[in-house]
Structure 1
Amino acid sequence: MKRTQQDLHQAAVAEVIAHYLWDCGELSEDVPSRSLKDRVSRALNGSVMSVETLRWFIEAFEMDDNHRKDLWETTCFVENDLERGIAYTLRSRRPMAKPQRHRTVSLFERYSVGPTRSLAGRRTYHTIRAVEDGVDAYFLNYEPWASAIEVLQGGALGERCTYGNGLTGIDILLSERLREMQTTTLEYRVEFPSDCRNTTEVRRPAFARAENVDMAVEFVSAELPRKLWWCIWDDHLEGSAVREQELALQGRTARMATPFVEETVVGFRWEW
């Protein structure tokens, strides 16, 4: 059968994407690149482009930040189906204290609001994958009014720093230095003074891609919130939510999971 130029083009694109997926471990090397051809074809002719497929194109062809943003916007994923993934809502990127040398494989974060309506703590289970050799620390951003930080698994506390406009962070020194593509799991918690503030929201920023994100907030206060929303913001610290979805409490807890977050801020807000 004679192959057309379009067939060769699609096959070449599928080959590039397959090599990327093989290298990062998302696809077994036993799976041939031709298995991606139909998916690539649908994306290139504009009929179907899933969030995952778009990410494959962006990562496999090493597109820069401007091209990434343009692609997310032109494919309308910036509208963010809350159950498919959330990306590119930041109006500007706040400075980072250190380069991010990892990607998040999974993130389970649990917030607790105490009897005085103030944030009592957050506990995090976090699996990360190194994107280069020699990754020996994870930089944890935390609220400046926190009273204590404890690493329960995977490392030990290192140097603290203050940077940007009121941002604070601390190194978690990993138990073992990671090679590229190696993973490790961290468990840590942050505690807050009981009289610090009347809490009405929690925000989690994501700059590089974080996958399998599961967040929840539990209210141990005598009074439960009157209303609660899952929210997307365009800034870590300031402004109102750019999109939100009202949630019902399950007992005393609200929970939301999403396949990924990237270049965005997500979390919960509520009214007493």
Structure 2
Amino acid sequence: MAGTATSRGVRLAGHYLNELLLTEYRRQWYYRGDRNRSNKVNTMAVAYVLAVHRLGDTAVEVEYQEDAKRIKDTVYRALVGRILTRETLELFMDAFAMSEAHCETLARLWDGTAAPRVLIGDMPPIARPNPAARTKRRYETVQRHEFHYLGADGQPVRHRTIQTIRALVDGYSVHPYTFDLSEVELEFVLGGAPSEPYQLQGTHWAVDVQLPETLSIGQAVPMEFSTIFRNDAPLEPCFRYATHQRLTDLMFRVEFHPRCLPRSVHWTEWRDYREPDDVVTHSQSAALNREHSVVQHLEVLENAVAGFAWEF
């Protein structure tokens, strides 16, 4: 592994490393950590694994523990994407015996030659009238695939969302779906029976989808939503998705009409979706495939705004 890293490369590699430790390599540290924090990596437990690898099997337990304490802060800074040297990244790879594919992805993220797999931003939360009144999340999205279609005039004509949600509480039976009525009209829903649309605020409306069955905690259900665009006025030449929550297994696909192909397309990340902070923070050229489309996969998107932007 050679080369140098940018601050963006360090952040992307650190976030992907954290995701790998939460999933693929979890069993190697989990037994030493706090098992009540199932969605967090225990930095001390991970540091212990690194210490055992660093010192070898000739050291005694107290030496492993002392070394783990010394490098705990290094582990934390690496996993939050703050500081991650080439040597530290290689230590993680070796200590956890990571696969060749995972090592290659980490190395390419670190040196800036790979597209992101995990994208975690620092977008401010939604302002609430009473910040102290926090409501418990009732569901989580474990898969979301977005399909965006443009017509011969370069304007969007329809959009399809396929997602899988999982209940975080018992008795989850109604799922909300929101949309901007000034731009789109809900065409159909699969995976439940939608209510009549009702207004939330301004042009933002919603439907309540009655699920096929009431879900218990941990149960999941697939859903599909299809919308058609009104195109009363030209829309901004981009498709972007914003989330304040943690989403997994995302795919964004934008398909262009063969009679109106773009001059350029870029995978784009924004600081926020709200003015005046809706500025581009990163842009990377994307090539059309044989279907006149661009596709991007993300394993995790959290507290961030991302998508595609194009020019005709």
Amino acid at match of 1:249: L
Which whole-Å CA distance do the structure 1 matches of 2:200 and 2:289 have between them? 38
- Structure 1 position 116 matched with structure 2 position 153: yes
How far apart are 1:224 and its partner, in Å? 1.0
Q: 2-side partners of 1:123 and 1:95: how far apart? A: 30
The one-character-per-residue Cα deviations of 1:138-190 (angstroms, maximum 9, x if unpaired) are: 22232332442134421121253444565433322222121111111001111
- 1:108 offset after TM fit, Å? 0.9
Q: Give ranges in structure 1 of 5+ residues lacking alignment.
A: 1-10, 25-32, 55-71
Secondary structure of the residue that 1:45 maps to in structure 2?
helix
Give 1:14's aligned amino acid. R
The answer for the alignment partner of 1:60 in structure 2 is: none
Q: Determine if the alignment matches structure 1 residue 45 to structure 2 residue 63.
A: no
Q: Tell me the equivalent position of 1:16.
A: 34
Identical-residue share of aligned pairs (%): 22
Structure 1 distance, partners of 2:206, 2:189, is 17
> Partner letter of residue 87 of structure 1?
I
Shift of 1:134: 1.8
1:208-227 matches, within 5 Å, as 208-220=245-257, 222-227=259-264
Residue 211 (structure 1) shift: 0.1
Q: Secondary structure in 1 aligned to 2:32?
A: helix
Which residue does the alignment assign to 1:84? 117
The answer to whether the 8 Å contact 2:120/2:303 transfers is yes
* Pair 1:240 & 2:273 matched: no
Q: Which residue of 123, 126, 138 corresponds with 1:93?
A: 126
Counterpart amino acid of 1:130?
A
Indicate the RMSD between aligned Cα atoms, in angstroms: 3.6
Cα 1:48–1:247 shift into 2, 3 Å: farther
SS across alignment from 2:245: coil
Q: Deviations over 1:123-143 (max 9, x none)?
A: 111001111112222222323
Larger radius of gyration between Structure 1 and Structure 2: 2
Residue 258 (structure 1) aligns with: 298
- TM-score of the superposed pair, with normalisation by structure 1: 0.70
SS of 2:154's partner is: coil
1:270 and 2:310 are equivalent in the alignment: yes
Unmatched segments (≥5 aa) in structure 2: 1-28, 51-67, 85-109, 130-134
**Paired residue secondary structure (1:140):** strand
Give the secondary-structure state (helix, strand or coil) at the position aligned to 1:208.
strand
**TM-score, length-normalised on structure 2?**
0.62
Counterpart CA distance in 1 for 2:255 and 2:185 is 19
Distance 1:267 1:12, change over 3 A: closer
**Structure 2 CA distance, aligned partners of 1:40 and 1:213?**
33
Tell me the residue number matched to 1:180: 217
Q: CA 1:197–1:173 in 2, change beyond 3 Å: closer, same or farther?
A: farther
Which residue identity is paired with 1:45?
K
Cross-structure match for 1:205: 242
